[in-house]
Amino acid sequence: MDRKHLKYTLTWALLITMLFVLIELLTVFDIIGHYGITTIVLIGINLIAAVGLNLVIGMSGQFSLGHAGFMAIGAYATALPSIYGFILSLLVGGLISGLVALAVGIPTLRLRGDYLAIATLGVSEIIRIIIINMKITRGPAGIFGIPAFVNWQMVFVLSVIVIIIVVNFVRSTSGQAIIAVRDNDIAAESLGINTTKYKVMAFVAGAILAAIAGGLRASFIQSVSPQDYTFMQSITILIIVVLGGIGSISGTVVTAIILGVLDVVLQNFGTLRMIIYALVLIIVMIFRPKGLLGTTEFSLQKLLFDSGGSHDHNDSKNARS
């Protein structure tokens, strides 16, 4: 790693650490109360799920509405065997969700557009109906009294780890192959890229992240029921991805934070807040149809080094003069 990349990495690490310390201080001095901590945790959980969905929609170009089903798998996997350890339960939920996504993805990802969306929506509803009709999941009543292992520190750290993993995955050879399939699957296939393999890879990765988000949510709220993971939960995560910009991880992060804060601000408006919320979404879609950041990513490296490079260029130009 050269000095420029080392400086870039350390700068990001410093910014993240400063944000963590700032939130910690605000909670210690009770500036951020219980409701604020709940908001931070839910923002982080939605962020993890949305980054996974953006991997499916934005990077591989597959329109999925089945995210709620995979979140439900993670939630119930965490709720049922939590006596054996939360981390183990979280990993089991991710594994089960990944296997289900693999079994579903191989036949369904040959579909495109609306057909794929309907198929994934059907899968999500099948998962929910199975949960409702199983005795071990206590049917429609759900499960209560789940041990609270999750706090904002855990969600913060996991969110950062997930973003780092996904960003590096997108930049890897496999990630670039997934993007090539998204841009033109026929051209990608002619170059020897196994399009089905990479579509399924992105779909499985997105399902695993959804399960992790569902497990975190179940442990934090300390309850889980089938009503928590209906079609509207998939739409909530989809809105974050679309408004942020399909294919932009930076946009997903920004939008998850904005919508989380907006939800808090509009709490005092009662039922009217849903109308205000919808109006905000419509306005954003009118003026920014590709989302807040479109397909671009926020680059700290350009901000830090491009300006320095331009100064160096100007200095050398003046020296030659």
Percent of the chain at pLDDT > 90 equals 40
CB-based contact 181:60 (threshold 8 Å): yes
Q: Which of 184-198, 211-225, 242-256, 297-311 has the lowest mean pLDDT?
A: 297-311
Q: Which residue has the tokens 């009709």?
A: 133
Q: How many CB atoms lie within 10 A of CB 21?
A: 10
Average pLDDT score, the chain: 85
Q: Which residue has the tokens 């949960």?
A: 131
Q: Give the per-residue pLDDT at 321.
A: 42
Q: Which two tokens stand for residue 100?
A: 């289900």
The type of residue at 50 is A
Which pTM value belongs to this model? 0.88
Q: Which two tokens stand for residue 116?
A: 């794929």
Look up residue 111 and give its DSSP letter.
Answer: S
Compute the residue count for the chain: 321
Q: Give the per-residue pLDDT at 114.
A: 76
Look up residue 59 and give its DSSP letter.
Answer: I
Tell me: the pLDDT tens digits for 152-200?
A: 999 999 999 999 999 999 989 998 998 988 888 888 888 888 888 898 9
Q: Measuring CA to CA, how many Å separate 233 from each of 8, 65, 107?
A: 36, 9, 24
Q: Measuring CA to CA, how many Å separate 303 from each of 8, 9, 163, 233, 298?
A: 10, 13, 20, 36, 9
* Spatial separation of the C-alpha atoms in residues 88 and 94, rounded to whole Å: 10
Q: Can you name the residues that pair with 144 across neighbouring β-strands?
A: 223
User: Which of these, 96, 106, 71, lies nearest to 234 by C-alpha position?
Assistant: 71
* Spatial separation of the C-alpha atoms in residues 87 and 105, rounded to whole Å: 26
